[in-house]
């Protein structure tokens, strides 16, 4: 769906990856409700504040879980099925690049604490990338871990992804080696936006955070442990 372009849009398409089977969690991630909205809806709304085009990739909206997760979304939101199913996030990213033919700002649908400041930093960081970089992403300084599902992928990444998928290579940090990446550093104490819901324990922690936020005093002072909503 084409929306009014955001101030820092720069021609990016916003992509929500929502094709995972959620086997470790035991329930559909996209349909988890946090602070009154499903994780899928929250991620779509976040991307719409930064990108003129937003799509969901990796699931069929006719599927019961997808329909339930997207019940608050407008009917003309584009949903793209993976062109090569069963390849994980790399397949979804390749699908988005191939169909849209433009650089893509990619977020997975299981990032309930992702916020505008982090997305803005990612978009601005891309403007400083080396010419050869086809991926702009965050890297934790202490561990070297990259946030491949909070990243911008250039159209030039498509042939690299397609070649890797044909060889059944799915790990994004191996497909796109370090010289092809532009890293934005962050520290462990800045990792809250990258918290994702993979396991039942993660969901329990999210519910605890939600409880503390809902219990915030009426005066506006934050309750101990409270985490503000994204944005």
Judge whether residue 5 has pLDDT over 70: no
- The mean pLDDT of 126-153, rounded to a whole number, is 98
Q: Does 37 map to a domain?
A: yes
pLDDT at 197: 81
Give the phi and the psi of residue 182 in degrees, each rounded to 5: -110, 115
Q: How many structural domains does the chain have?
A: 1
- pLDDT band for position 91 (cuts 50, 70, 90): very high
What's the domain range around 170?
A: 13-198
Q: Does 223 map to a domain?
A: no
Q: Does 60 map to a domain?
A: yes
Please choose, from the candidates 40, 110, 117, the residue with its C-alpha nearest in 3D space to the C-alpha of residue 77: 40
Q: Does 207 map to a domain?
A: no
Check: CB of residue 26 under 8 Å from CB of residue 197: no
Distance CA(21)–CA(28), nearest Å, equals 7
Q: Does 180 map to a domain?
A: yes
- pLDDT band for position 224 (cuts 50, 70, 90): very low
pLDDT at 62: 55
Q: Does 66 map to a domain?
A: yes
Judge whether residue 73 has pLDDT over 60: yes
Determine how many CB atoms are found less than 10 A away from the CB of residue 25: 18
Eight-class DSSP state of 5: P
Distance CA(129)–CA(63), nearest Å, equals 39
pLDDT at 69: 57
pLDDT at 228: 46
What DSSP line would sit under 174-188, residue for residue? HHS-GGGEEEEEE-G
Q: Does 122 map to a domain?
A: yes
The b-or-e profile of 136-148 (16+ CB within 10 A means b, else e) is bbbbbeeeeebbb
**pLDDT greater at residue 3 or residue 40:** 40
Q: Does 214 map to a domain?
A: no
**pLDDT greater at residue 105 or residue 75:** 105
Determine how many CB atoms are found less than 10 A away from the CB of residue 192: 13
pLDDT at 3: 47
pLDDT at 70: 57
Residues 6 or more apart from 127 whose CB is under 8 A from it?
Answer: 10
Least confident of 22-26, 190-194, 222-226: 222-226
CATH number, domain with residue 60: 3.90.550.10
């Amino acid at each position: 769906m084409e929306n009014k372009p955001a101030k820092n849009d720069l021609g990016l398409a916003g992509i929500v990856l929502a094709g995972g089977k959620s086997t470790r969690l035991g329930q559909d991630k996209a349909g988890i409700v946090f602070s009154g909205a499903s994780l899928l809806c929250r991620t779509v709304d976040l991307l719409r504040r930064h990108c003129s085009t937003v799509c969901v990739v990796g699931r069929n909206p006719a599927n019961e879980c997808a329909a339930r997760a997207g019940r608050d979304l407008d009917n003309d939101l584009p949903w793209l099925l993976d062109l090569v199913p069963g390849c994980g996030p790399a397949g979804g990213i390749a699908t988005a690049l191939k169909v849209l033919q433009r650089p893509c700002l990619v977020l997975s649908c299981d990032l309930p604490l992702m916020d505008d400041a982090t997305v803005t930093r990612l978009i601005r960081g891309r403007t400083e990338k080396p010419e050869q970089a086809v991926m702009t992403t965050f890297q934790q300084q202490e561990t070297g871990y990259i946030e491949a599902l909070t990243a911008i992928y250039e159209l030039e990444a498509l042939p690299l992804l397609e070649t890797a998928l044909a060889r059944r290579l799915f790990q994004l940090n191996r497909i796109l080696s370090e010289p092809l990446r532009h890293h934005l550093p962050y520290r462990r104490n800045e990792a809250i936006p990258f918290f994702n819901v993979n396991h039942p324990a993660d969901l329990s922690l999210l519910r605890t955070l939600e409880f503390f936020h809902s219990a915030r005093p009426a005066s506006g002072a934050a309750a101990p442990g409270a985490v503000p909503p994204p944005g």
